[in-house]
Amino acid sequence: MKKDKEKKKKRVKRAISSPASTEVSPLEEEKIQETSSEAPLAYFLRVAGGKWKIRILWSLRDGQTRRYGEIKSAVSGITDMMLSQSLKELCLDGLLYRQQYQEIPPKVEYCLTSSGKTLLPALTALCEWERQMTQAASNK
């Protein structure tokens, strides 16, 4: 058993030290992404990627402030925990503004920041692209 572990360690060492190795560590991958032409896409995916964040941003596209329950109704299928986490992350990334009122019951409203509004043309373009792809698929 011990010999098997030692052999495995040697193989791993050889694979890492070998110039033909194509495996990249997560740290190296992060450095590559920061310096490559894909850095803007990597940033976008970190900030607004995932299943829910784009839907949340899209639900606020009209510029109106929305309360938590209104956003939850607009984004069907999202859980309370996921909505809370996504709203928190979008606020930390500067795409949403959170206004908390000192009332009972507590009142919190969300709206897009100017940075969040700059994403709207890209999201609109994505919707237009989807529309074109759907039409092309239905014409086949």
CA dist 4 → 9, 15, 65 (Å): 9, 16, 61
Q: How many residues does the chain have?
A: 140
- For all residues of the chain together, what is the average pLDDT? 82
Predicted local distance difference test score (pLDDT) of residue 12: 44
What is the average per-residue pLDDT within 100-128?
A: 92
Is 90's pLDDT higher than 90? yes
Nearest 10 degrees: Cα torsion 11, 15, 20, 23: 140
- Over the stretch 10-58, which tens digit does the pLDDT of each residue have? 554 444 444 444 454 566 556 655 566 778 778 888 888 888 999 999 9
pLDDT for 8 beyond 70:
no
Burial of 132 (0-12, 13-18, 19+ CB in 10 A): exposed
Picking from 46, 52, 99, 104, the residue whose alpha carbon sits closest to that of residue 75 is 52
pTM over 0.75: no
Residue 49, CB-side half-sphere exposure with 13 Å CA sphere: 7
> In the chain, what are the domains?
51-126 (1.10.10.10)
